[in-house]
Chains A and B, each alone.
Chain A
Amino acid sequence: MKRKTFIKNTFLGIAASMVGAEIVFSESIPEHYRPLILEEPDPYKLFNKSKEMTVLNNRPWNMEAKAHLLDDKITPNKYMFIRNNGLIPKDPDASNWKLVIDGESVIKPKTFTLNELKSKFKQYTYQLTLECGGNGRSEFNPPAKGNQWTVGAVSCAQWTGVRLRDVLDDVGLKNDAVYIGYHAADTHLSGDTSKAPISRGVPMYKALQEETLIAFKMNGEAIPLAHGYPLRLVAGGWPASASGKWINKISVRNKVHDGTKMKAPSYCVPCKPVAPGEKVKAEDMCIIESMPVKSLITYPKTGAMIQEARVLEIRGHAWAGELEVKSVAYSIDFGATWHTCSLESPVNRLAWQHFSARIKFPQKGYYEVWAKATDSEGVSQPMLLPGWNPKGYLNNACHRIAVKVK
């Protein structure tokens, strides 16, 4: 047996040879090769997440909540989903962090330190709904590639920062500004430093909204590393991918930003409806802007068994992208009849709203409680999957929980 062949075979068998408690042949691993298992810390500890969260992917890290974990009115870090396209930057240095504002449509590029941003501009705090464009992807048929999110890629935390528009005002824009695009410190999965894992953005009308923040605090504390420490964009109500994390540059473009994952099929849906499984050309795909109306029953957890004649209290949240939620209804007969829930107004624009109801069941048996929200333009959630699209975005079908009356 030649040593070289041995090493090659070991290399090929490396992932398999990593099984079991002991790494028996550890000393034979080529030095540059780090098998995943050795780099796999406990993500719950690493990111201060609840053990009840579901890890969808460990390279890159992607993690989602379950419906009942999202019961808080303000989502705490431990229940906030993580969506990454690349690798999280290692030990970002907040004291030396800089944000460059450049692009074709700025009069003169400018660089701000994090401290300058904090001291120079007025700070605002908003509760903002961030939902992954692919939340609910797992239900599409035919299946769409990517992380198979169920219902838990949504959060509504309190974000503190400065308004992007105040910063852009300070820099000065030309009349031809069309879009802003962010650039960030995360790294490409392949290790290729010439590639950005993601560099998306929003059109100017969204960039200039009061609630669009360059944020440095989440729920009153420094933003957790997995959520963009020390600086991120927050554009509530839009696919969360528009809210770049670890940002170090914002480019004001005179055209639609052309960064990584701005092109179809990423974060795009067919401009016109298509049949399930249909091939769609890139030029027939449109960039997702506002997320659709949606709701989630966060209490009780699915699977609740109650005694006959007991009134079941349910509650949850509803949101509608750029719009407000006008009403939420529930059904316990698969949509045959609907009953109104009480609904709170949002604490600010783009924050989710809380609904609740008290349900009486007519007799013993198996029930599903379905919730359906309607936005301010009268558009409701579908009970079935909405229009199929190649990447499985925008599944806002009604959420439901199983209940047994004994």
Chain B
Amino acid sequence: MDSKEFRNKIRRIYAALFAFFGLLLLVSGVLVYAVLNPSFLKFENTDYVETEAINNGIENGIHTETGFIYDEGMQTVITSCTSCHSAKLVTQNRATKEGWIGIIRWMQDTQNLWDLGENEAVIVNYLAKNYAPEARGRRDNLEAVEWYDLVE
């Protein structure tokens, strides 16, 4: 073995080692990133995102995070309504279909609400069904009284 051949051999080993450690560094880097950011390796899994979210968030028919009633159109309502104001502003109100459309028009006129396009019907149907006015008299009974002994 002459010195030239020897040098080439060393160079090849050097290159192989370089590639090996480079790869090792890359893989460990990816792994560390994946540990810190668990969804990094879950690109393909959008269905998982949505079903997971909805199943986790519903208790007794109520979406726990927002308080919305779980029904068709809820996701569209959440997306459209809660970027400016709290879900509570919706869920504490009651209105007919016409009433909800009126509220949307008012928000479009004064509150910079965008044109809801096809979503409007979805939203209005959801709200008119789940947040409809209840038949009430001119004064309700006192409800949900928590009884306690009044100490002297």
Given contacts A13-B53, A36-B82, A148-B93, contact A19 B46 (CB under 8 A): no
Partner of A189, one of B44, B53, B85, B93: B85
How many Cβ-Cβ contacts under 8 Å join chain A to chain B? 142
Identify which of residues 77-99 in chain B touch chain A, using a CB-to-CB cut-off of 8 Å. 78-79, 82, 84-89, 92-95, 99
Q: Which residues of A contact B66 (CB under 8 A)?
A: 15
Distance in Å: Cβ of A15 to nearest Cβ of chain B: 4
Q: Which residues of A contact B8 (CB under 8 A)?
A: none
Distance in Å: Cβ of A191 to nearest Cβ of chain B: 8
Instruction: Tell whether A272 is near chain B: CB-to-CB under 8 Å.
Output: no
**Complex interface bits, B11-25 against A, C-beta within 8 A gives 1, otherwise 0:** 000000000000000
Instruction: Tell whether A397 is near chain B: CB-to-CB under 8 Å.
Output: yes
Q: Which residues of B contact A275 (CB under 8 A)?
A: none
Q: How far is the CA of A52 from the CA of B3 in the complex (A)?
A: 87
Identify which of residues 85-115 in chain B touch chain A, using a CB-to-CB cut-off of 8 Å. 85-89, 92-95, 99, 103, 110-113
Identify which of residues 125-147 in chain B touch chain A, using a CB-to-CB cut-off of 8 Å. 133, 136-140, 142, 145-147
Task: Say yes or no: B65 contacts A37, CB within 8 Å.
Answer: yes
Q: How far is the CA of A139 from the CA of B143 in the complex (A)?
A: 13
Among the 9-residue stretches A56-64, A90-98, A287-295, A351-359, the one with 4 or more Cβ atoms under 8 Å from chain B is A56-64
Task: Say yes or no: A19 contacts B65, CB within 8 Å.
Answer: yes
**Complex interface bits, A338-369 against B, C-beta within 8 A gives 1, otherwise 0:** 00000000000000000000000000000010
Distance in Å: Cβ of A329 to nearest Cβ of chain B: 18
Task: Say yes or no: A59 contacts B86, CB within 8 Å.
Answer: yes
Q: Which residues of A contact B146 (CB under 8 A)?
A: 303
Instruction: Tell whether B43 is near chain A: CB-to-CB under 8 Å.
Output: yes
Q: Which residues of A contact B113 (CB under 8 A)?
A: 190
Instruction: Tell whether A125 is near chain B: CB-to-CB under 8 Å.
Output: no
Identify which of residues 294-328 in chain A touch chain B, using a CB-to-CB cut-off of 8 Å. 300-306, 310, 312
Residue on B with the closest CB to A36?
Answer: B82
Q: Which residues of A contact B110 (CB under 8 A)?
A: 260
Partner of B139, one of A139, A190, A192: A139
Task: Say yes or no: B85 contacts A27, CB within 8 Å.
Answer: no
**Complex interface bits, A96-137 against B, C-beta within 8 A gives 1, otherwise 0:** 000000000000000000000000000000000000000000
Q: How far is the CA of A304 from the CA of B150 in the complex (A)?
A: 5
Task: Say yes or no: B139 contacts A385, CB within 8 Å.
Answer: yes
Residue on A with the closest CB to B137?
Answer: A141
Instruction: Tell whether A336 is near chain B: CB-to-CB under 8 Å.
Output: no
Given contacts A24-B39, A189-B85, contact A19 B53 (CB under 8 A): yes
Residue on A with the closest CB to B85?
Answer: A59
Task: Say yes or no: A57 contacts B88, CB within 8 Å.
Answer: yes
Q: How far is the CA of A27 from the CA of B66 in the complex (A)?
A: 21
Task: Say yes or no: B150 contacts A300, CB within 8 Å.
Answer: yes
Given contacts A13-B53, A302-B142, A310-B152, contact A19 B39 (CB under 8 A): no
Task: Say yes or no: B44 contacts A57, CB within 8 Å.
Answer: no
Instruction: Tell whether B64 is near chain A: CB-to-CB under 8 Å.
Output: yes
Task: Say yes or no: A19 contacts B150, CB within 8 Å.
Answer: no
Identify which of residues 50-96 in chain A touch chain B, using a CB-to-CB cut-off of 8 Å. 55-60
Task: Say yes or no: A16 contacts B142, CB within 8 Å.
Answer: no
Given contacts A13-B75, A19-B63, A27-B37, contact A139 B148 (CB under 8 A): no
Task: Say yes or no: B94 contacts A143, CB within 8 Å.
Answer: yes
Q: How far is the CA of A55 from the CA of B140 in the complex (A)?
A: 22
Distance in Å: Cβ of A386 to nearest Cβ of chain B: 10
| 14 more CB-based (< 8 A) A-B contacts, given A13-B49, A188-B112 | A1-B46, A3-B43, A10-B49, A13-B46, A16-B53, A17-B52, A25-B49, A139-B140, A141-B137, A142-B133, A143-B95, A188-B111, A190-B84, A195-B112
Chain B residues in the interface with A (C-beta under 8 A):
37-40, 43-46, 49-50, 52-54, 56-57, 63-66, 75, 78-79, 82, 84-89, 92-95, 99, 103, 110-113, 133, 136-140, 142, 145-150, 152
The 9 closest A-B pairs by CB, nearest first: A19-B57, A190-B112, A16-B53, A304-B150, A17-B53, A15-B78, A59-B86, A143-B94, A148-B92
- List 14 A-B residue pairs with CB atoms under 8 Å apart, sorted by A's residue number: A13-B75, A16-B50, A16-B57, A25-B49, A57-B86, A58-B86, A59-B86, A145-B103, A147-B89, A189-B85, A190-B113, A312-B150, A385-B139, A402-B145
